[in-house]
Amino acid sequence: MKDHDLLADRMGRLGQNAPEAAVNPLDDVRRGQRALRHRRAVGAAGITVTLAIIGVASATLVLPDDSARDTPIASTPSESTPSPSTPTPSTPDSRSIEVSAAAISALCQVQADRLEQLNQPPGSQPTFPRPRKTELSPSWENPAVAPQLAAYQQAAALILDPSGTHLDSEVSNVQFGCNPANDRLTSLGTKLGWSSSGALGVVRLEVVTPEQAKASQIIMSHEGWIRTNDNLPPGISKAWVTDYEDGRAVYVERQDGLTVAVDANGKFGNNVSPGSPSAADLPTDEKLLQLAASTLLGLPNYKPA
């Protein structure tokens, strides 16, 4: 018998005489397989729970309004719900705007000087009935009227053009009148360009004291005024409207005593070439009346009687 046969025979006898194992090796294999399956199941269950939580969170974001009331959810600020950190713009009552009496007096002096020059005979040297107080130009940047004119533009933008599409963003002209007896403003107005589809129109604003109401340039510029009582904004006592070829206008008598006229014209007078198209999308009568009622349209240092 060869050596390896003898070794195999001896190993066989030893195995037959060995005591029986207390634990079947096949059971260990089965336990290991069960443990592996369990770990895999736990891992899969963990992933499923995570996905379920994500799903619940996603569902919470699209709950109907009635259900979401009891669930505080962070929302994105919108135009209808301003952010608490962003202050809401206020609209001060511009009738109470106070400016320097000296500035108004200087502005009225410029007007008086110019009127005096116009009344001089041709070829004569201009004379002035009183010393010139200042060389201040009666422009829209004049401190006597600049704050009020800025309020006019603000009111027109808020009411007529909240999207900022059509209206000039800055004031660039002024019309005014004074009472020479007391150096008080009796009227103040401006013109704001209205752009639409390549055409240039204009919105004219004019605020006049009671004693000068009949001298309003806007009122005298148009005919066919019709009295209206339809849905008048608060603060208006009487109102008139008129439509004409290139636009429309309104004027109102307000409860504070001021007369306010607003004119929307599709053509900005001499600022456009003859034959130019008329600007479209002009404000409606209703919008013009709202603007005329705005307390932002006041007069510097004006006090209601």
Compute the distance between CA of residue 244 and CA of residue 272 in angstroms, rounded to an integer. Answer: 19
Q: What are phi and psi of 150, to 5 degrees?
A: -65, -35
Nearest-angstrom CA–CA distance, 153 and 171 = 7
Global pTM reads 0.65
Considering only 271-275, 277-281, 284-288, which range has the smallest mean pLDDT? 271-275
- Rounded CA separation 3/11 (Å): 12
- Model confidence band, residue 61 (pLDDT cutoffs 50, 70, 90): very low
Eight-class DSSP state of 90: P
- Please state, in angstroms and rounded to a whole number, the distance separating the CA atoms of residues 274 and 269: 9
Higher-confidence residue of 157 and 85: namely 157
Q: Extract the runs of DSSP E, i.e. beta strands, from the chain.
A: 175-179, 184-196, 199-208, 226-227, 236-244, 247-254, 259-265
Q: Say if residue 227 is exposed, middle or buried (CB neighbours under 10 Å; 0-12, 13-18, 19+).
A: exposed
Please compute the mean of the pLDDT values over residues 67-85 and round it to a whole number. Answer: 35
Nearest residue to 138 (alpha-carbon basis) of 112, 101, 164, 118: 112
- Assess whether pLDDT exceeds 60 at residue 25: no
Question: What is the spatial distance between Cα 205 and Cα 186, in angstroms, rounded to a whole number?
Answer: 14
Rg (CA), the chain: 42
- 244 three-class SS: strand
Q: What is the pLDDT of residues 89-118, one digit of tens each?
A: 344 455 558 888 888 888 888 777 766 666
The structure tokens listed for 68 are: 């979401």
CA dist 278 and 124 (Å) reads 44
The stretch 236-250 carries a mean pLDDT of: 96
